[in-house]
Amino acid sequence: MYSNRTSSQFGQQETTCHLLLKELQIIWDEVGESDSRRDAMLREIEHKCLDLYRKEVDEAKLCRAQIQQEIADNVAEIAGICAAMGEQPLHFDPKSCGSLKKARETVVSQLEEMRKLKTKRKKQFSEVLYHLKNISSELYGSMVANAYLEENNLSLKRLEELQKQLLQLQNEKASRLKQVSDQLNALNSLCLVLGLDVKDKICEICPTMVNSTVTKDVSDNTIKNLTSEIQSLREVKIHRMQKLQSFAAALLEMWDLMDTPMEEQQKFHHVTSKITALESEFTESKILSIDSVIYLEKEVERLQVLKSTKMKELLRKKKLELEEICRKTHLTTQTVFQSQHSLELLDYDQIEHLITKTKEEALNRKEILEKVEKWLVACQEESWLEEYNRDDNRYNAGRGAHLTLKRAEKARALLSKIPGIVETIILKVKAWEKERGQEFMYDGSRLLSILEDYSTLRQEKENERQLQRDQKKLQGQLMAEHETLFGSKPSPAFKSGYKVSRCSTGIPSITMLQDPRHASLIHQSNKKGNVTNQKGSILRNKNIYHSTQSSAGKDNSKAIGHSVKLKKTASSAEKGTEIQSSLTRKPLSPVSPAVLSKANISNFQEDHRKSQNVATQQKSQMLTATPPSRPYIAGDEENMTPKNMALPVPTTPLTSVPMLTAITPDSVYSGPTAASKTSQSFEYSFEEVRAGFMLPKTYAQ
């Protein structure tokens, strides 16, 4: 019917379109439209008709799709609800309903039924989850991990699982109530033994548990705090029990040592009777309270003070014994006791062990220490011999002089053995260190280092002595060369006709009246033994000699005139100047420094005058003489510190004669008064005459 009606409609439409097309053809003929224009307009009309039909078809398709989508969504929701509730989804065929609109109405009615069933199931889940939440918060303080409502899982199986879980939580809650009750009882018993207030402890853990009308807290935190507090109190109980038992054992030991009467022991019988008791046996009230432990501790301390007074004396003796052994073996307490703690903190057994260990160490070091003692004795003799050799009066005859000479001979013999002793000690020390794998210490320092330093120092001293001998040999060669050129100069001591000796007062007689520069040279080279000063002294004498030659060769007339002036000055000084002491000198009294200085000046002028005469007489020889084969160094000894044998270019030194003769003494009136002063003479004792201590004529006049 639908097709017939449609075909009739299409037929009528086709007739109408044909008529309209004919009418349009007539109009185009009248207008005179071209065929191409007519074809284009016809094609346009056809396209417009097709577009209109196509639009209508698209709208119809869209409406059909919307209805189908609604049906599919409802079917999917029904399937989701069935899946969430764990039921089989309903089978639905839209074709069985005839049209899509009827199918849509059927699906909507089924969806409403499934939604009501889902709401009922969610209510059941909510009730179970509510109870789970409350009990889990009481037990754990938080909700159970899977105790929440899931929209996609509302099956009967899950509902049964939640109900089982709720039953388990209810059973656990009952168990925890019993556990908390037991813990409170244990806490009460511990506080009773330790002398503590149980209510204060419970209030610290959970204030709500103090009131008995309120339901007890069975949360994990409360049980954990109770367990921790009980464990802590049990540890305190064990600690105090052990402390009390140790005090009781100490009491029994000291009572036995000090013979304490039974009346005094009876006060602590309740403690000493539990010296071997277990933890569970300490149930008496306040038996382990802090006051009981302190009281017992004070009693032990009182007895220990009595005991320590006797032990301190014994420890002091042992420490002194250990220090004495260390001193004899040249060990330090740090070497014997290698620890961060002090020696004062050691007990009797440790000190006894250290004494035994130190004695064994001393026995192992005995052989080397004996060698070291011999070496130290030899070093002392060496030091004494050096002091003895520096003494200028060592050959003077006196009381005990022969004993000193014998000791010097023995010291020299022992001195020759020192290198062998040192070498032997070094070999033994090295063998000892290699065997024991540690350094041999001597008074806190390594003995091998001490011996090596001593050997080095001894070698340096030996090199210095060898250098001094070489310098003395060089000085002798220079003196021989000087005597070859100028001849030997007789000593003033031999001119006087008697032997020069030292006076008993310690003041030299004629040696003090010699040339001060020459005397300082001899004093430095013989007494100090300084190698550098010896070089300077020897080379300075040679420099004076060469400077005299060069000055005489360069200006002969100047040297002769200067010599004549010196002669005139010396002759006038001898005739017109008289040296007189302000005080009358007594026998064996020391000469004043002023007199000695004047006498030295007079002797120096006389020596210089003689040297000038010799230089004048040999003037011609020095002009033709060949230059010296050895170089010389200009300058005084105090201004040079030579470090090697290289010699600088010589310079002409300044003479010291004008300095000493610059001030010409005033002429003295040679009248009767002068003659009377000259006629005065000094009195000399027998010892001074025997020793040869007589002043020169210039001073005596």
75 within some domain: yes
Task: Let me know whether 455 and 601 are in one domain.
Answer: no
- Asked whether the predicted pLDDT for residue 355 surpasses 80, the reply is yes
- Beta-carbon contacts of 663 under 8 Å, excluding residues fewer than 6 positions away, are none
Residue-range definition of the domain harbouring residue 541: 523-586+593-700
Per-residue pLDDT, averaged over 78-86, amounts to 84
CA angle 169–173–175, rounded 5-degree value: 115
Long-range (24+ apart) CB contacts under 8 A made by 387-391 are: 390/527, 390/529
**What token pair was written down for 479?**
């003196």
Per-residue pLDDT, averaged over 411-415, amounts to 89
When pLDDT is cut at 50, 70 and 90, the band that residue 230 belongs to is very high
The CATH number for 414's domain is: 1.20.58.1520
Q: What is the pLDDT of residue 267?
A: 86
Q: What is the pLDDT of residue 210?
A: 66
72 within some domain: yes
Three-class DSSP category at 392: coil
pLDDT per position as a tens digit, 431-451: 999 998 888 888 888 888 999
Q: Which among 408, 436, 461 is the end of a domain?
A: 461
pTM confidence score: 0.34
Smallest Cα–Cα separation from 647: which of 560, 561, 539, 555?
A: 539
610 within some domain: yes
Per-residue pLDDT, averaged over 128-139, amounts to 86
Count of domains in the chain? 4
Q: Do 495 and 606 contact (CB within 8 A), yes or no? A: no
More confident residue, 230 or 625: 230
When pLDDT is cut at 50, 70 and 90, the band that residue 693 belongs to is low
608 within some domain: yes
Task: Let me know whether 682 and 620 are in one domain.
Answer: yes
Three-class DSSP category at 445: strand
- Asked whether the predicted pLDDT for residue 557 surpasses 50, the reply is no
- Asked whether the predicted pLDDT for residue 590 surpasses 70, the reply is no
375 within some domain: yes
Query: 275 — alpha (psi -120 to 50), left (phi > 0) or beta?
Result: alpha
Q: Do 562 and 571 contact (CB within 8 A), yes or no? A: no
Task: State the burial class of residue 540 (Cβ atoms within 10 Å of its Cβ: 0-12, 13-18, 19+).
Answer: buried
Instruction: Give the dihedral sign, CA 636/637/640/642.
Output: positive
Task: Let me know whether 192 and 245 are in one domain.
Answer: yes
Q: Do 42 and 28 contact (CB within 8 A), yes or no? A: no
CA dist., res. 343 & res. 335, Å (int): 12
CA dist., res. 275 & res. 278, Å (int): 9
Instruction: Give the dihedral sign, CA 189/195/201/203.
Output: positive
165 alpha-carbon distance from chain centroid: 66
When pLDDT is cut at 50, 70 and 90, the band that residue 189 belongs to is very high
Task: Let me know whether 211 and 268 are in one domain.
Answer: yes
pLDDT per position as a tens digit, 260-296: 888 888 888 888 888 888 888 888 888 889 999 999 9
Smallest Cα–Cα separation from 607: which of 510, 467, 471?
A: 510
Task: Let me know whether 356 and 224 are in one domain.
Answer: no
Task: Let me know whether 105 and 89 are in one domain.
Answer: yes
Q: Which among 63, 88, 117 is the end of a domain?
A: 117
Task: Let me know whether 348 and 452 are in one domain.
Answer: yes
Task: Let me know whether 359 and 432 are in one domain.
Answer: yes
- Beta-carbon contacts of 351 under 8 Å, excluding residues fewer than 6 positions away, are 315, 318, 319, 322
- Beta-carbon contacts of 660 under 8 Å, excluding residues fewer than 6 positions away, are 601, 604, 605, 608
Per-residue pLDDT, averaged over 104-108, amounts to 84
Dihedral of the alpha carbons of 165, 171, 172, 174, in degrees to the nearest 10: 150
Instruction: Give the dihedral sign, CA 311/316/317/319.
Output: positive
Within 13 A of 471's CA, how many CA atoms are on the CB side? 26
484 within some domain: no
CA dist., res. 661 & res. 466, Å (int): 41
507 within some domain: no
Task: Let me know whether 234 and 378 are in one domain.
Answer: no
**What token pair was written down for 86?**
């764990």
Q: Which among 117, 147, 164 is the end of a domain?
A: 117
Smallest Cα–Cα separation from 661: which of 609, 614, 699?
A: 609
Task: Let me know whether 545 and 643 are in one domain.
Answer: yes
Residue 442: φ, ψ to 5°:
-135, 105
CA dist., res. 514 & res. 516, Å (int): 6
Task: Let me know whether 695 and 564 are in one domain.
Answer: yes
Task: Let me know whether 552 and 582 are in one domain.
Answer: yes
Three-class DSSP category at 619: helix
135 within some domain: no
